[in-house]
Structure 1
Amino acid sequence: MSHREIRSSLDMISADEAARILRVSPRTVRRLCMDRKIPAVKVGSQWRIDRTELMRTLARDSRMSCWLGMDGK
């Protein structure tokens, strides 16, 4: 495994971890993954989400931040 692959695997989080960060249910995170609303890859039967890309997506997409209740209002 290369240095880049190791770093990438360390930045990947599960749908459950993403749900805790986003304060939504794991089911909601899985739906967002399936709908390609958040960057994710499926490994076996589980979704893996790149933590950095998730945060970038939220910062870039203000509608998603509002929908998730993360707009500070």
Structure 2
Amino acid sequence: MNYQLLVDYFGSQVETARQLGVKQPSVHAWLSGRSKMGAVVAMRAEYITKGKFKANELCPDLGKIKPPSAN
């Protein structure tokens, strides 16, 4: 995911952090590739942006979750 698009949406790293309830260094770590966005923050971003950014794209680990099989 290109986290820069998310930062551009909010206008700055500081505002992105504020909106998502994280600290600015976390946003910088996403941008630099040193860290991945967690599932809860990714879902928060999807909600706040009204679906413009999808949680499973911001946090690829969410795409690995499979619903339980019906028996």
- Please give the TM-score of this superposition, normalised by the length of structure 2: 0.39
Q: By percentage of residues, which structure has more helix?
A: 2
Q: By percentage of residues, which structure has more strand?
A: 1
- Please give the TM-score of this superposition, normalised by the length of structure 1: 0.38
